[in-house]
């Protein structure tokens, strides 16, 4: 008899060819098929297992497809979200962007928030879920991203408080008549030259427009920082995710745009991941 555990171990061995986390990948795929949380999977280890779909999942992963695309769902900030190619898979480091905004919002429990470059809508939805009186505008340039964000908004019944707009950064909002208490974004920030060296799991499946942003990776950040003061309320927060080694450049851009004190939030690997600042009087 082949058991659940046997299948996980076999799969983990072959997946080591393409993945840095083969055992975790195999467990996520199996837990999804058995419809149990991954933490409870050991309770099923000795059960007989003969489901051909598992092999199909493993083959998709062997072709480098990201686990969240195979599953069609992924968790971000404890929120289950739909996922599908080519919309960027929400990353754990982006949860720090949400934390920075939630920390700031202790003094403003009903902020008007703009989430630029929303992708799946993960940041917008995590903020709306945790700030019960917030209004969030979520924008993106990609139809695929906005269609998925819309599905995720409906999944969590947040259509009254999260609004989607399509457009190139602030063009999605129109002239700066409306001011936001928070402008946040996880924009594309990979350098053009780094793209060919990215893992195939990223490079072959995720939209390059969600990843790369010019020679220094800062084309989109630069445009956001330059225009943000026009759309930000007094004392409002600007918080942006960035890549490893980009903090000094992003902080300099913020200062050049008139923001005074710029701070960094590290991710769990100790990398300065979020740059944030407030608009002074
Ligand atoms: C790094 S992804 C982040 C997605 C999501 N916020 C997340 O954290 O998973 C960047 C997103 O920016 C969008 N994007 C790229 N260029 C843009 C532009 N000029 N205006 C608006 N959105 C843009 C992409 O379509 C993509 O969804």
Confidence of residue 178 (pLDDT cuts 50, 70, 90): confident
User: Using a 6 Å cutoff on CB, does residue 246 contact ligand 1?
Assistant: no
- Whole-angstrom Cα distance, residue 71 to residue 90? 14
Cα 142 to ligand 1 centroid, rounded to whole Å: 8
What share of the chain in percent tops pLDDT 70?
Answer: 100
Q: Which of 41, 63, 85 lies at the terminal end of a domain, its last residue?
A: 63
Cα 153 to ligand 1 centroid, rounded to whole Å: 17
99 in the same domain as 179: yes
129 in the same domain as 8: no
For residue 165, list its beta bridge partners. Answer: 139
- Whole-angstrom Cα distance, residue 184 to residue 117? 9
Confidence of residue 281 (pLDDT cuts 50, 70, 90): low
**Is residue 1 over pLDDT 90?**
no
DSSP-assigned letter for residue 65: -
What share of the chain in percent tops pLDDT 90?
Answer: 94
161 in the same domain as 206: yes
Which residue is listed with tokens 């202790």? Answer: 106
**Is residue 121 over pLDDT 90?**
yes
Judge whether 71 lies within some domain. no
Residue to mutate (ligand 1; options 91, 209, 274; most atoms within 8 A of CB)? 209
What residue owns the CA closest to ligand 1's atom 19? 168
Judge whether 69 lies within some domain. no
**Is residue 118 over pLDDT 90?**
yes
From the CB of residue 210, how many other CB atoms can be counted at a distance below 10 Å? 23
Mean per-residue pLDDT, 103-124: 95
Least confident interval from 105-109, 131-135, 189-193, 276-280: 105-109
pTM: 0.97
Judge whether 68 lies within some domain. no
- Whole-angstrom Cα distance, residue 56 to residue 156? 30
User: Using a 6 Å cutoff on CB, does residue 142 contact ligand 1?
Assistant: yes
Q: What is the pLDDT of residue 109?
A: 77
pLDDT tens, 39-66? 999 999 999 988 889 999 999 999 999 9
What residue owns the CA closest to ligand 1's atom 27? 119
Residue range of the domain that includes 39: 4-63
Q: What is the pLDDT of residue 116?
A: 98
**Is residue 5 over pLDDT 70?**
yes
Domain count, the chain: 2
């Amino acid at each position: 008899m082949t058991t659940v555990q046997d299948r996980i171990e076999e799969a983990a061995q072959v997946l080591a060819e393409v993945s840095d986390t083969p055992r975790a990948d195999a467990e996520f795929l199996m837990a999804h098929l058995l419809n149990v949380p991954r933490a409870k999977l050991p309770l099923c280890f000795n059960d007989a297992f003969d489901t051909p779909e598992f092999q199909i999942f493993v083959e998709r992963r062997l072709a480098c497809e990201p686990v969240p695309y195979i599953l069609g769902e992924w968790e971000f900030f404890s929120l289950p979200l739909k996922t599908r190619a080519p919309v960027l898979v929400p990353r754990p480091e982006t949860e720090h962007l949400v934390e920075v905004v939630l920390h700031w919002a202790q003094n403003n429990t009903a902020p008007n928030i703009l989430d630029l470059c929303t992708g799946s809508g993960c940041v917008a939805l995590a903020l709306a879920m945790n700030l019960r009186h917030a209004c969030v505008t979520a924008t993106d340039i990609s139809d695929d991203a906005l269609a998925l964000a819309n599905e995720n908004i409906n999944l969590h019944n947040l259509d009254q408080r999260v609004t989607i707009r399509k457009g190139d950064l602030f063009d999605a909002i129109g002239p700066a008549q409306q001011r936001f208490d928070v402008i946040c974004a996880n924009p594309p920030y990979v350098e053009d030259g780094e793209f060919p060296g990215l893992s195939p799991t990223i490079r072959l499946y995720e939209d390059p427009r969600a990843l790369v942003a010019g020679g220094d990776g800062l084309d989109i950040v630069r445009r956001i920082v330059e225009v943000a003061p026009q759309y930000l309320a007094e004392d409002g927060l600007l918080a942006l995710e960035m890549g490893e080694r980009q903090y000094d450049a992003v902080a300099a851009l913020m200062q050049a745009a008139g923001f005074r004190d710029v701070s960094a939030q590290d991710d769990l690997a100790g990398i300065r991941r979020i740059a944030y600042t407030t608009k002074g009087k």
